Structure formats: structure tokens, C-alpha cells
Structure 1
């Protein structure tokens, strides 16, 4: 006797069409295919398999490159149940020339930060736009421009994932900063008065950075960072390492090794 229990309707498939994306990393999956870690504007980090992308005649070979903005279409049977989606199509979406030399390594540093600090499927459209706007600055001839772009992106990333304390207040006491006083950024205590010999920023600098972050303008952020680059780098590095859970990133280690040759 046939069962009278109603059959559940199949769940609709998960499909995304023409999504702005960047390739953060690529892994060999088979002799002919790749698994890609994509940073997308509306869906955050997603993993996709690009079948046949390694074949000599594949049109994807020239498209699926780091730092090149692409328009990606991908799908899976279920959004939440699929660790890896299937790439259906990808087209170059314009943008700047491919990074080379030192700028290439710096770009990979940004990609490593995103892969280690962003959870999968956690969308950050503002961070995506900041990443796209930061890439051209990495190829600048002026090192001050490059460093300001890096610091501005690091601060934007920390703010977007919710681990950057409010820079205009002492975290534990919620007191306003004193413009001339020296403050440290601590992974757990947030903004606090700096101790002797500790990397620190003046209160006026932190307030300027806080205002630039609140403005939502990456250009304003870069200008604020450029005013105190050495001190800002010294303060941000241990904060980043605290949240990364590691003292040295692979790209940083490679940069140091190349500088020693």
C-alpha cells in the first residue's frame, strides 16, 4: 500500500548571477580544475570550484587572476549546506592593471588578511568597496601613498568585523581622549593610556582617525593615516596579530626574506 505521507518539496537551488568579486586565493582541485576563494560584494567570502579552468583552451584561465575584478556567477543545491559552490561563469569586469613587483606582495598581504579575518558568507559591501579602491594605491610610486593605503584598509577591516574599539574614547572608562596624551591600542583593553616604551598615538591622532572612519570616506582615512605613518604601523601591527592569532603572516615573512637578500 502506497504511503499517503506528502512528499516534501525540493529546496530551491542557490544561484548568484553576475556578482562583483575578486579572487583571493586559488587551489588545485584536480588536473583540470581549481577551487577559488572569492571575495564578493553581496555574499562575502565564498569558495567555488571552477571546473576545467586549468585547461589550455579554457576562457577562465585569463580571467580568474588575483586583483582583477570579475563578474562571477555560481550556484549550489543549497546555500547553507554547500561548502563549495560551482562556478558557472566569470568575466573580466574592468579595473586597473595587474599588480607587479612589491605591489604584488602587498596585495597578497591584503588577501591574506581577508582570508584569515573574514568568516565565510559574511557580506561586507563597504569593505569590498574599500578593497577595490585600495588596490590602485598599492602601485603608487610614492611609498607614503602605499603605506597610507595599507593602514587605512587595516583600520577599515578591523572596524568592519567589529573588533576595532571606538578610537575617540578611553575604552574602559568611556572618557574623552586628551589631545596631547599618548594612548595604546590593546586587543582586550582597547584604547588606554600608553605605558613607558609602548607604541602609542596621540589623542588628537586617534580622534582624527575616528572621525575619518565615521565619515565613510576612504580618501579621508588615507589622509588621516598619512599624518602619522610610523607610529600608526607600530600600534596596528600588534593589534592585528592579536586578532589573527599569529605573530607573522606568510606574506610578511616572504617580504622580510626578500629584503634580506
Structure 2
């Protein structure tokens, strides 16, 4: 009988995107790796109090993983914290979970995108270091859509294929690309702004180049257009983590209840 050789991956850069229980002591892990894309691992015994993996297999932490197996689900063999930054906290933590949901909904398993992995790592690092949350999210959304081939040409109209006029307004439509709009349209950017984003995306280091476009990235107009694209291609009307982020912000902005005096003794 000829035995089938089991593939072994060693020291692979990766992040945990999601995990759920498999048994009383084991977990199923969805991880995003640099050279193998999104893969599913079973971590046997990792929930035991004596497991060395308990404090390592956390989301939004850079890891180095070993696994084996040639099926759809592989077996985790080793996991090490790669260092570099601490886990994001507060709003940044929720933003990081949103990045994870985007990858889970929009990427296919076993489809490697090394450049997208690097952009994700940069986004998580930016969140951990306290960068403006909106700036980090918009940069990653743009790069995710471009990597997956779903970002339209940002230098021309989507239907008529005409070059953008610098001072004219354009809005991003999910099925038709950039469409003419009034400059004062809340969901529109000028042709000059769209072309600047296109130039940044085409640069050798798009993550860094997009930082120079911060005023455009943190505005509501770009957020609306990118949200439409992301919802269209993911097939969902709302992302769970996005809804959670908005709920937390509403609660934080709500006035505190008036403190009542203590009853008389």
C-alpha cells in the first residue's frame, strides 16, 4: 500500500481571523497566511489549561504557524507570537475585527495574496499604534478591492469611459464605476481626488502613498462609495462588526442618565 505524503508548512506568517469550538479541548481556526491565503486549521488540545497555544492564538496578533495535512482542514503543529506590536484596544479592536470580517467574506480559501497580507499586517499595526481608525480602514478597503479585481478604474467614467474632469464631481457606483454627480453631492469626490487616489494605488508602496490622501480618505464620501462596493461583492447588506462599531459609538455619545439623590434615611 502506498502512503500519501502529508504536506507540511513551516514558520508561515499568519493571523487568526476567527475561531470556534470543535470539542471540549480543541478549536477550528480560520487563519490568513501570507503564502497560502486563508486556510482552516484544527488546533487539537489548544483549550487545555496546560496548552502553550492558549495565550498565542489570539486575533490581530502576528504569528508564525506550522501545520500539516493535504485536505481542506489542516492540523496545527506549532504557533509562535512573531512580535512587533500589541493587540489593538477600544475602537481599534473593533476596527480590527471588521478587517477580519472583510477577509472572511470576500476572500476564497487557499487563494494566496502576499501583497494583501502585507497590507492587512500594515493596517493591524496602524490600529495598534493608534493611527486614525477611518484612515486605516479606508486604505485597507481600497487595497482589498483593488487586489481582488473589484475596484473600477478611478481615472475615467465607468460607462462612457471618458477621462475625469478635475473639478467635476463623481460618485462610486457598485455596478457602474464612477458616475457624474454634483460637486456638492455628499457621496461624491472631485475628479482630481479620484485621480490622486488612483496614482497612490499605482505607486510602489500604496499603503504609504495613500496616507498622503488622508483628507479624502477620512471623509464620508469615500466611505459611502466603498461600502456600496463591499456590500455588493460580499452579498450582505451589513457587516456585523460594522453594525457593532456604530452601536458602540451611539451608546458612547448618548447622554449619561441623571443621577438621582439618595433616599432620605
1:140-159 pair list within 5 angstroms: 140-141=129-130, 145-159=132-146
Is 1:251 aligned with 2:251? no
Structure 2, unaligned runs of 5 or more: 252-265
Distance 1:85 1:197 in 2: 50
Q: Is the 8 A contact 2:12 2:34 kept in 1?
A: yes
Between the aligned partners of 1:15 and 1:253, the Cα distance in structure 2 is 39
Aligned to 1:177: 164
How do 1:235-246 and structure 2 match up within 5 A?
A: 235-246=225-236
Q: Name whichever of 15-24 and 221-230 sits farther off.
A: 221-230
Is there any run of 5+ residues in structure 1 with no aligned partner, and where?
A: 1-6
The answer as to whether partners of 1:184 and 1:198 remain within 8 angstroms in 2 is no
- The answer to whether the Cα contact below 8 Å between 2:120 and 2:140 also exists between their aligned partners in 1 is yes
Aligned residues: 248
The match for 2:75 is 86
**2:54 is paired with a residue of what secondary structure?**
coil
Give, in angstroms, the shift of residue 64 of structure 1.
0.5
| CA deviation string 1:83-135 (max 9, x = no partner) | 21111111111120111111111100000001000000111111110111111
1:83-232 equivalent positions in 2, closer than 5 A: 83-141=72-130, 145-194=132-181, 197=185, 199-217=187-205, 218-230=207-219, 231-232=221-222
The alignment yields a C-alpha RMSD, in angstroms, of 1.8
TM-score, normalisation: structure 1: 0.89
Where 1:215 maps in the other structure, the secondary structure is: coil
Measured in 2, the distance between the counterparts of 1:173 and 1:108 equals 38
Q: Aligned residue for 1:22?
A: 15
CA positional deviation for 1:207: 0.5
Match of residue 74 from structure 1: 67
Taking the aligned partners of 2:159 and 2:3, their CA distance within structure 1 comes to 52
TM-score w.r.t. the length of structure 2 is: 0.88
Contact 1:44-1:122 at 8 Å conserved across structures: yes
Counterparts of 2:231 and 2:214, CA distance in 1: 19
Whether the 8 Å contact between 2:156 and 2:178 is mirrored in structure 1 is: yes
8 A contact 1:148–1:225 mirrored in 2: yes
Q: How far apart are the structure 1 equivalents of 2:19 and 2:197? A: 35
Counterparts of 2:217 and 2:126, CA distance in 1? 18
Q: Is the 8 A contact 1:172 1:189 kept in 2?
A: yes
